[in-house]
């Protein structure tokens, strides 16, 4: 096998979860070869440099061996050489931590079912107390 489609290769080496995801990334200009956005049908050959931009991380890989079937995650290093700078991974890790902190601090927009039960119990107790006070006044 001398070459394979770019989207199929990206899916095979587990850079994308599904092949349509890889195709969409190419269509949206998130995958580059030689600094130029490429189409999903572009042929990949050993030695090609591929840059994949995602929301969190910009990965740069070099194709070592061509494959067209998805492989186990343990075997991926046999097929690609990861040239991504360590700073990129650190930046992505910090973004994930910040995102997790933001989710922890941001209150939910609606009460959960459990919260709703607590609110109802509180209001029922409040109404019962108000009714008891009303009876005592009479």
Q: Is 59 among the domain residues?
A: yes
- Give the pLDDT confidence score for residue 2 in this predicted structure: 78
Residue 43 sits in which domain range? 4-85
Interacting residues of 92 by C-beta distance below 8 A, sequence separation 6+: 56, 57
Q: CA 58 from chain center: how many Å?
A: 13
Residue at 71 is within a domain: yes
The predicted structure's pLDDT at residue 106 = 67
Q: Is residue 95 part of a domain?
A: no
Residue 1's pLDDT is: 64
Q: Name every residue whose Cβ is closer than 8 Å to that of residue 40 and which is 6 or more positions away in sequence.
A: 5, 6, 7, 22, 23, 26, 27
Read off the pTM.
0.70
Is residue 132 in some structural domain?
no
Q: Is residue 93 part of a domain?
A: no
Answer yes or no: is 121 within a domain: no
In a domain, 113, yes or no: no
What is the Cα–Cα distance from 13 to 53, expressed in whole angstroms? Answer: 16
The pLDDT, as a whole number, for residue 110 is 85
Question: CATH no. for residue 19?
Answer: 3.10.290.10
Rounded mean pLDDT for each run of 10 residues along the chain, 138 residues in total = 89 95 96 94 95 91 93 95 93 87 73 91 89 82
The Cα–Cα gap between 79 and 85 comes to: 19
Count the domains in the chain: 1
Query: Is 129 within the bounds of a domain?
Result: no
Q: What's the token pair of residue 96?
A: 């994930």
């Amino acid at each position: 096998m001398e070459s394979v489609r770019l989207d199929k290769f990206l899916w095979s080496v587990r850079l994308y979860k599904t092949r349509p995801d890889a195709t969409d990334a190419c269509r949206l200009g998130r995958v580059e070869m030689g600094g130029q956005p490429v189409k999903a049908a572009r042929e990949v050959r050993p030695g090609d440099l591929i840059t994949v931009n995602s929301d969190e991380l910009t990965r740069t890989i070099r194709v070592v061996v061509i494959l067209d079937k998805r492989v186990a995650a343990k075997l991926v290093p046999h097929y690609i050489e990861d040239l991504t700078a360590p700073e990129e991974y650190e930046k992505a890790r910090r973004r994930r931590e910040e995102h997790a902190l933001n989710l922890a601090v941001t209150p939910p927009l609606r009460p959960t079912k459990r919260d709703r039960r607590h609110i109802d119990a509180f209001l029922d107790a409040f109404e019962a107390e108000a009714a008891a006070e009303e009876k005592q006044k009479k």
